[in-house]
Structure 1
Amino acid sequence: MSYGLLVAGTTSDAGKSVVTAGICRWLARRGVKVAPFKAQNMSNNSAIAIRADGTGGEIGRAQALQAAACGLEPDVRFNPVLLKPGSDLSSQVVLLGDAVDHITAENFRSLKPRLAETAFATLAELRAEYEVVVCEGAGSPAEINLRDADFVNMGLARQAGLPVVVVGDIDRGGVFASFYGTLALLDAADQALLSGFIVNKFRGSLDLLAPGLRTLEQLTGRPVLGTLPFDLDLWLDAEDSLAYGRVLGRPAAPRGEQWLRVAVVRLPRVSNATDAEALAVEPGVAVRFTAEPAEVAAADLVVLPGSKSTVADLAWLRETGLADAVLAHAAAGRPVLGICGGYQMLARTIRDDVESRAGEVAGLGLLDVDVEFAPRKVLGRPVGTALDTEVRGYEIHHGRISRMGRLSPFVGDDGVSDGPVFGTHWHGAFESDEFRRRFLRLAAGLAGRDGFEPAPDTDFAAVRQATVDRLGDLVEAHLDTDALWQLIEQGPPAGLPAIAPGAASGATP
C-alpha cells in the first residue's frame, strides 16, 4: 500500500520546499522508499532529469534537491508541470520535462484540464512505485480565486485523499492569523483534509510561543506538529536567497590575504542564478546579488547569470545603467562571466524569433559571437574539460552560437573567453571543485587580487549533502515524527471540526 502527505504553506516561501525535503530525508533514513512530488511549480530555477532513453527534461530545482534527500536521481515525474515565467503575463509550460506551450490569461483555463490530468496520472504512477510520496503544494491552499481549477493544493489532496499539513513562516509575522485564515477560507470538504500545522523559522523562547500554539489548537481542533528554528545555514537551492543586496550564505574568512568580491546581477527574469552558490561556498569569496551599477563597479568579478527572457533583460541592463558598468568593468581588464542567458548578452548580436520574437538585437559586444534562438531547447548534463581539468554541468537553453570569432575555448563546445570576458551555456560548472578553484584564481589575478587564494579542500557536493542531512536532523529534532508518520500511514483523522470565518471572535486563550 502507498502512503502520502501534502505539505502546503500559508504563503509562497513559507518553507514548503525545505520542510518537504526534510521529511523526505527523515523517511529515507528510516528505510522508507520515498519520492517527492510537486504537481505544478512556477520557477525559472530548474534542473535536468535524464530519462531512461538518455534524453533530458526539466524539473524545478527544489524537486531535484528533494530527490537527493530521498537518495534518488531527478525524475521528470517529480514535477510534471513546470511554469517558467517569461513576463508578468506569460509563462512557458514544461510538461513532463518538455516545453510544450505558453500559458497566458487568455488560455489559462483551457490548458488547466490537460495539466491536471497529467499531474493526477503521474502521482498515481509514483504511488504505485514508491511506499510514500511526499507532495509539496504551491503558493497557498487558500487562494480561493483559483480553487475551482486547482490541482496543486487542495484539489490534489482531495483527488488523492492526502492529509495536509500547513507550514507558516513566523519570521514574517502574523503566522497565527495565517494558519487560522487558511483553514477558515477552505470549504468543509477541504478542511477535513487539513490535519496539522508546522511553524517555520522561529527564533526566540518557545515558552513565549507556547500559549499561542495552544490557543491555535483549541480554535482549530488541529495539532501543531512542531516548531522549526531559524537556520542561517539553509541557503543552498533556496529561491528567496537571491534577494537584492544580500551576501549569499555566510562566507568563511579567506585562506589568503584578500577577499574576492563577486557581484551577480539580479536580472528581472533571472534563471538558475543558483550557479553563484558554488562560488559562495569558497572561503574568502563574498557573493552579492545586486541591481546597482556602483556595486558592479566595486566588484572584482561580475557575473551575468541565466535569464528566461534574454532580450528583455538585456534591455533592462541598458535602461538601468548596469550595461555601462559591465562594459567599463571589462574595459578595465577586470573579469566578467556570463552564464547561459548572461553569456548570450555578451554576444555581438542576438537573433530571437522564439522567446521575445524581437528579431535581431545588438548584444553587449564583449565576445565576438552571434546567437540565434531555436524552437527546441538544448537539454543535457554534459561532461567536458576546461582549464585543464574535468567539468560537469547541465544545459537548458534555446539560444545557440551561430557564428564564433577567433576566441579562446572556455567551458563546453561553444563556451569562449576573450581576455577578461568569459561565457558558457553550462550551468553548474562551478560545482566541479578543481575547475572552480582554477577559475577563481584566474579571476583574482585579473582583478588584481593576488592575495586571494582558493581553499584546496572545499567540496561543494559535501556542502549540499550536509544541507540535506541538516534538513532531516531538524525534522527529527523539532517535529512530532510519531504524529507525522500516523498521518502519512492512516490519512486525515476522522472528525476534524469545520470552522467558519469569524468563529474565533469570542475565543479566550
Structure 2
Amino acid sequence: MLKGALLVAGTTSDAGKSVVTAGICRWLARQGVRVAPYKAQNMSLNSYVTADGAEIGRAQAMQARAAYVEPSSDMNPILLKPGSDRRSQVVVLGRPLADVDAMEYYELKDRLREIALESLTRLRGAYDVVVCEGAGSPTEINLRKGDIANMGLARAADLPVLVVGDIDRGGVFAALHGTVALLEPADQALISGFVINKFRGALELLQPGLDMIRGATGREVYGVLPWLDGLWLDVEDSLALDNRPASAGLMPYGRQTLRVAVVRVPRVSNFTDLDALASEPGVVVRFITSPAELDDADLVVLPGSRATVSDLAWLRRTGLADALLARAAANRPILGICGGYQMLSRSIHDTVESPDTPDHVPGLGLLPADVVFKPGKTLGRPEGSAYGHPVAAYEIRHGVVTVEGEAEPFLDGCRAGATWGTTWHGALENNAFRRAFLADVAGVAGRDFAPAPDVDFAAERERRLDALGDLVARHMDTGALMRLIEKGAPPDLPVLPPAGV
C-alpha cells in the first residue's frame, strides 16, 4: 500500500494549491488509499466547524470531503483570521489563542511549529498518505526564517514539494524558475517538480516551454491541468472573488431571474455561504461595493465579517448603509448572516473583535436585536427548521444576539418584514430550505422565479470534486506522482545559481 506525504506549494496565492490538493486527495481516495489533507498554517476568513467543535480553514474541510474523511483540527492546526491590516486572531487546534500583530505572532512561532509538526505526525500515523498544502508562495524570502507552512515544513518533515503555477495570470515559466532560484540549496533539494494550472489552448504550443523549463531547472512538469469552467469550490480568501463566476446557471435577465447582490465588506468572511445560491438555475449572484449596484437586486445579502464594527462604519462611509435603510423602508428583501445580521441590529457592544473602534455603536436598526461580544467564541453545528424544513448549519461567532421586540424567529435569528437575520452559516446548503426561502424572496420581490426542484448542492459539490479527481487522473503523470509520495524528492536535483540571497 502506498505510504508517504507530499507538499503542494504555489508560485502565488490563488495559483490553485487548494484545488490541486483536493484533486490529488480525491484521486488517491478512489484508488483505495487512506488519505488526509493538511495545511500547517492558513490565513483565511473562510472557516468551518468540525464535528467536535473545532474551527479550521474551510478549504481543508473541502479537501477532507474530497478524501471521503471527516475534517479534524489536525488538518489545519494553525488558522490566522485577520481583523485588520495589522492584527489577526490565532486559532490553534480549533480554538482561539490570542489576537496578535506580526511581531507578537513571530514570538509564538517556535511553539506553533511544534504544534503543527505534532499534528502532521498524528495524521501520518492515522492515514496512508497526507497531502499537505503550502501557504502563499515558498519564496516569500523575507518570511523564510521561522516559516512553518512552506519550506520550513518541508525541511522539518522531509517532504517532496510540487510547485503549482497559474498560467492564466501570465509569466508562469518565470514564476516557476524564480521559485526555485530564490531558495537556498537545501530548500531547492526538495522542490521536485511543477504543475501548470488553468491552461487554455493547444498543448503542442506549450510543449517548447515545458521542455525549456525542464532544461533550465532539471525538474519535471508533472502535469498541465486545463481550465475547467463552472468549477467553484470553497476558497480561502477574497482574492478569488475577483475571478468568481456570477452564477452557475445563468438565464436571461427577466421576471424569471432572481438577482442577488452580496455586499463585499472589507473583512468579509465565510462568503462561501452564497455558493449554494449561485448553484440555482436562474439565480444571479454578484458581489458589490457601491449603492448603485443594489438598485436592481431582488435580494441583498450582508455576509459574515471578522470586523463587524469597522465594516459597519465602512457601510456608512460608502452610502451602502443608507441604501439598505431605503430598501427596508420599501419592504425589499435583505438577509444578514452572522456579522451581517449583527450589523442589522439596533446596537453593538464590542470590546473583543474590534478593539480599535468605539466600544458601543448603533447598528442599522432594521431588526429588533442587540449584540454583545464575549471573549469566548461560540463554535457549533446547530440544527433547526424553517419554512417547515430541517436545517443543519454551523456557527462561528463572538457576538451574542438578544432579540427583544416584534419579530418572527428565523434560524436562531429573526425576521421583521422583508429583513431576515441569522447567526448560522451554511444554512443555504440545505436544499428544501433554500428553495422555500428563495420562493419567499421572489414573492416579496415580485418575480416569477421558481426554484428548480431537483438542485442538490451536496451532489453538485461532489460532482466538482470528482471533476478535480478526473483532472489529476487524466492530466498528471500519476505514476510519477505516486513514486514522489512514496520515495520522496528525487536525489541529486540540480541547484540553481543563487539569485542574490
- Whether the TM-score (by the shorter chain) exceeds 0.5 is yes
The residue that corresponds to 1:307 in the other structure is 305
CA distance in 2, matches of 1:130, 1:333: 53
CA distance in 2, matches of 1:103, 1:402: 29
CA distance in 2, matches of 1:227, 1:492: 20
Q: Shift of the alpha carbon at 1:406?
A: 2.5
Q: 1:16 and 2:14 equivalent? A: no
Code of the aligned partner of 2:88? S
* 1:370-449 correspondence runs (5 A): 370-412=370-412, 415-449=413-447
Q: Shift of the alpha carbon at 1:248?
A: 3.1
Q: Shift of the alpha carbon at 1:298?
A: 1.7
The residue that corresponds to 1:506 in the other structure is none
The residue that corresponds to 1:203 in the other structure is 200
Contact conserved, 1:247 with 1:286, CA < 8 A, in 2? no
CA distance in 2, matches of 1:297, 1:328: 11
Q: Shift of the alpha carbon at 1:387?
A: 1.2
Match 1:327 to one of 322, 325, 328: 325
Code of the aligned partner of 2:40? A
Contact conserved, 1:255 with 1:455, CA < 8 A, in 2? no
Q: Shift of the alpha carbon at 1:246?
A: 5.5
Match 1:110 to one of 107, 110, 118: 107
Code of the aligned partner of 1:185? L
The residue that corresponds to 1:507 in the other structure is none
Secondary structure of the 1:199 match is: strand
The residue that corresponds to 2:347 in the other structure is 349
Contact conserved, 1:2 with 1:128, CA < 8 A, in 2? no
Code of the aligned partner of 1:32? V
Contact conserved, 2:248 with 2:280, CA < 8 A, in 1? no
* Partner deviation per Cα, 1:66-87 (whole Å, 9 max, x = no partner): 0001101111110000000000
- The structure-2 alpha-carbon separation of the partners of 1:252 and 1:382, relative to structure 1 and needing over 3 Å to count, comes to same
Q: 1:230 and 2:231 equivalent? A: no
Aligned length: 496
Contact conserved, 2:345 with 2:370, CA < 8 A, in 1? yes
CA distance in 2, matches of 1:88, 1:240: 14
CA distance in 2, matches of 1:243, 1:165: 25
CA distance in 2, matches of 1:301, 1:442: 11
Contact conserved, 2:14 with 2:240, CA < 8 A, in 1? no
Q: Shift of the alpha carbon at 1:236?
A: 2.5
Q: Shift of the alpha carbon at 1:292?
A: 1.7
* 1:228-307 correspondence runs (5 A): 228-238=225-235, 239=237, 243=241, 247-253=245-251, 258-307=256-305
Match 2:212 to one of 215, 227, 241: 215
Q: Shift of the alpha carbon at 1:240?
A: 5.4
Q: Shift of the alpha carbon at 1:378?
A: 0.8
CA distance in 1, matches of 2:378, 2:347: 20
Q: 1:27 and 2:28 equivalent? A: yes
* Partner deviation per Cα, 1:441-498 (whole Å, 9 max, x = no partner): 100111111x110111110000011111110000001000001001001101111010
* Partner deviation per Cα, 1:273-308 (whole Å, 9 max, x = no partner): 111111111110000001021111220100000000
Q: Shift of the alpha carbon at 1:502?
A: 6.3
Q: Shift of the alpha carbon at 1:2?
A: 4.2
CA distance in 2, matches of 1:202, 1:106: 39
Contact conserved, 1:235 with 1:249, CA < 8 A, in 2? no
Q: 1:487 and 2:488 equivalent? A: no
Give the share of equivalent positions with the same residue, in percent.
61
Code of the aligned partner of 1:363? G
CA distance in 1, matches of 2:333, 2:435: 15
CA distance in 1, matches of 2:177, 2:368: 58
Q: Shift of the alpha carbon at 1:147?
A: 0.8
Q: Shift of the alpha carbon at 1:108?
A: 2.4
TM-score by length of 1: 0.95
- The structure-2 alpha-carbon separation of the partners of 1:320 and 1:244, relative to structure 1 and needing over 3 Å to count, comes to farther
Q: Shift of the alpha carbon at 1:144?
A: 0.8
- The structure-2 alpha-carbon separation of the partners of 1:255 and 1:392, relative to structure 1 and needing over 3 Å to count, comes to farther
Secondary structure of the 2:281 match is: coil
Code of the aligned partner of 1:461? A
CA distance in 1, matches of 2:63, 2:242: 26
- Structure 1's unaligned 5+ residue stretches are 504-509
Contact conserved, 1:103 with 1:111, CA < 8 A, in 2? no
The residue that corresponds to 1:46 in the other structure is 47
Secondary structure of the 2:7 match is: strand
- The structure-2 alpha-carbon separation of the partners of 1:308 and 1:240, relative to structure 1 and needing over 3 Å to count, comes to closer
CA distance in 2, matches of 1:288, 1:312: 22
- The structure-2 alpha-carbon separation of the partners of 1:297 and 1:103, relative to structure 1 and needing over 3 Å to count, comes to same
* 1:145-224 correspondence runs (5 A): 145-224=142-221
- The structure-2 alpha-carbon separation of the partners of 1:240 and 1:87, relative to structure 1 and needing over 3 Å to count, comes to closer
Secondary structure of the 2:142 match is: coil
Q: Shift of the alpha carbon at 1:119?
A: 0.3
CA distance in 2, matches of 1:295, 1:168: 34
CA distance in 2, matches of 1:2, 1:122: 17
The residue that corresponds to 2:6 in the other structure is 5
Q: Shift of the alpha carbon at 1:252?
A: 4.0
* Partner deviation per Cα, 1:20-67 (whole Å, 9 max, x = no partner): 00000010000001000000000000011122xxxx010000000000
Code of the aligned partner of 1:21? A
* Partner deviation per Cα, 1:359-401 (whole Å, 9 max, x = no partner): 1100000001111001111111111011111111100000011
- Of 335-344 and 233-242, deviating more is 233-242
Contact conserved, 2:4 with 2:485, CA < 8 A, in 1? yes
Q: Shift of the alpha carbon at 1:103?
A: 2.4
Q: 1:499 and 2:500 equivalent? A: no
* Partner deviation per Cα, 1:328-374 (whole Å, 9 max, x = no partner): 11111110000000000000000101111331100000001111001
Match 1:141 to one of 138, 142, 150: 138
Q: Shift of the alpha carbon at 1:245?
A: 9.4
* Partner deviation per Cα, 1:138-181 (whole Å, 9 max, x = no partner): 00001111111011101111111110000000000010000000
Secondary structure of the 1:364 match is: coil
Code of the aligned partner of 2:325? L
CA distance in 2, matches of 1:497, 1:323: 58
Please provide the CA RMSD for this pair: 1.6
Contact conserved, 2:403 with 2:414, CA < 8 A, in 1? no
CA distance in 2, matches of 1:247, 1:19: 19
CA distance in 2, matches of 1:255, 1:9: 38
Contact conserved, 2:238 with 2:268, CA < 8 A, in 1? no
Code of the aligned partner of 1:297? D
Secondary structure of the 1:109 match is: helix
Code of the aligned partner of 2:190? L
